[in-house]
Amino acid sequence: MKIAISSDHGGFELKGVICDYLTKKGHTVTDLGTNSPESCDYADYAEKCAHAVTSGEAELGILVCGTGIGISIAANKIKGIRCALCYSPETAALAKEHNNANIIAFGGRTMSEQSVLASIDAYLNTEFAGGRHQRRIDKIAALEQR
């Protein structure tokens, strides 16, 4: 799978762990920065990853900041993005099954590596259910016009 990933400084270390994990599993991972633990602004990195997803360069985006909150709020401002802040394998699976999230977000300062990697696996191993959930996603898209 083609996966784009980015973070701010608060997610820099966890981003590296995720990149290594997914690359070893055979995914094509594009790291869009940040490239150091220097302070930076999460909105800039949310935008890079979101555009990789909306352009089709990536099939999935992964975002990391300190809490996962700021970077997911920013990503959800981009038309076509459904970014889910996942805090467990269960919520990651539901982000795919119910929301067909095209970006998943995590907190580098608030979540354990083990939980985040298990959540990514749960997302990747789950299918979107469609049906009533597609109708609800269509209504989210309609909100972008208001």
Residues noted as catalytic:
65, 98
Tokens 């094509």, residue located: 28
Cβ proximity to ligand RB5: between 10 and 89 the closer is 10
Where are the alpha helices (H) located in 79-124, listed in sequence order?
A: 89-97, 113-124
Applying CB under 6 A, which part among 63-71, 84-92, 120-128, 138-146 lies near ligand RB5? 63-71
Bridge partners of 2, per DSSP, are: 28
User: What are the C-alpha distances in Å from 118 to residues 18, 37, 87, 104?
Assistant: 11, 24, 10, 13
Cβ proximity to ligand RB5: between 9 and 96 the closer is 9
Q: Is 43 in the site for ligand RB5 (CB under 6 A)?
A: no
Applying CB under 6 A, which part among 22-30, 64-72, 77-85, 117-125 lies near ligand RB5? 64-72
- Rounded distance, CA 43 to CA 127, Å? 29
- Residues lying near ligand RB5 in the complex (CB under 6 A) are found at 8, 10, 42, 65-67, 69-70
